[in-house]
């Protein structure tokens, strides 16, 4: 599919569905209370129609959603058709990214500086998120990140391709022992049939670096790109944006080692950290 289906609209549809289920209501029960047809509610929950502000407000009231959670969801409604959903997500407990990861059939992840979140060990995640601190916020971020990883172990898991720059593997985040554990975990993950790892070694020279991104493909909806930088993260859903990142993916794969050679490279890298 090439038409645009706004990321906010898709996220809203999934969240409204989960909130209805959490309230213990069937679609028939919710539709009756909303004075809607079941078909209308189903189209809203499948992101096939745009619910009005009044409709979403009524849904949240029926589902018992109040306070900051209600404010956050209503903000989604106000900006449904705004392109390039970019901003700062300060709530590690309710990220939107896992919604899309759970619905994707394939995920391509490029990580130029750190190991991607779906492949991080707890110790590595703690090292790069807390920088030695152990605040409640950092622990929540780590827990949310590790919970996301369950998507790769599902019975029907997405095909996952991770492209890592050698820099992400060589920098000793948390110390040598943490890196040895992390790299050995990557080697184990590469054995799974749905996971492919590619490393771009320094010796391959320069290449175009688009920054950290995930390209997510879906069975019945257009792709979405997640981008992440130091001050901003978010989603791109316009066809020209997703096509550009498909081209980036092809270029990065061409610059990287094949899967088998990448695993051999990881083995040598683990040995280097052990000596360090």
Q: How confident is the model at residue 191 (pLDDT cuts 50, 70, 90)?
A: very high
Q: Is the pLDDT of residue 89 over 90?
A: no
Measured distance CA(193)–CA(105) in Å, rounded:
14
Q: Is 110 in contact with 163 (CB distance < 8 Å)?
A: yes
pTM: predicted TM-score of the whole model, two decimal places: 0.80
DSSP 235: E
Measured distance CA(30)–CA(34) in Å, rounded:
6
3-state secondary structure of 35: coil
Helix boundaries (H) for the chain: 7-22, 27-34, 38-45, 53-63, 67-78, 97-103, 122-130, 136-148, 166-170, 176-189, 239-255, 259-275
Listed range (90-99, 167-176, 189-198, 266-275) with the worst mean pLDDT: 90-99
Give the model confidence (pLDDT) of 232-250 as tens digits. 788 998 899 999 999 999 9
Give the model confidence (pLDDT) of 62-75 as tens digits. 999 999 889 989 98
Measured distance CA(190)–CA(268) in Å, rounded:
15
């Amino acid at each position: 599919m090439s038409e645009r289906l706004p990321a906010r609209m898709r996220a809203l549809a999934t969240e409204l569905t989960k909130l209805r289920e959490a309230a213990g209501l069937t679609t028939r029960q919710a539709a009756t209370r909303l004075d809607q047809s079941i078909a209308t509610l189903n189209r809203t929950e499948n992101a096939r129609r745009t619910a009005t502000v009044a409709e979403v407000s009524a849904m949240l009231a029926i589902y018992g959603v109040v306070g900051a959670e209600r404010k956050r969801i209503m903000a989604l409604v106000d900006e449904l058709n705004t392109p390039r959903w970019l901003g700062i997500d300060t709530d590690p407990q309710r990220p939107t990214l896992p919604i899309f990861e759970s619905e994707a059939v394939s995920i391509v992840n490029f990580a130029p500086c750190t190991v991607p979140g779906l492949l991080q060990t707890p110790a590595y995640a703690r090292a790069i998120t807390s920088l030695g601190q152990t605040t409640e916020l950092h622990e929540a971020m780590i827990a949310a990140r590790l919970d996301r990883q369950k998507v790769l172990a599902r019975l029907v898991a997405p095909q996952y391709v991770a492209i890592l720059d050698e820099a992400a593997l060589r920098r000793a985040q948390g110390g040598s022992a943490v890196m040895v554990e992390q790299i050995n975990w990557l080697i184990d993950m590469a054995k799974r049939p749905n996971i492919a790892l590619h490393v771009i070694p320094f010796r391959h020279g320069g290449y175009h670096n688009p920054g950290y991104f995930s390209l997510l493909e879906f069975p019945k909806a257009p792709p979405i790109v997640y981008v992440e930088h130091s001050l901003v993260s978010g989603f791109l859903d316009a066809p020209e944006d997703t096509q550009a990142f498909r081209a980036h993916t092809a270029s990065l794969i061409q610059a990287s080692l094949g899967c088998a050679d990448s695993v051999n490279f990881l083995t040598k890298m683990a040995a280097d950290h052990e000596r360090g």
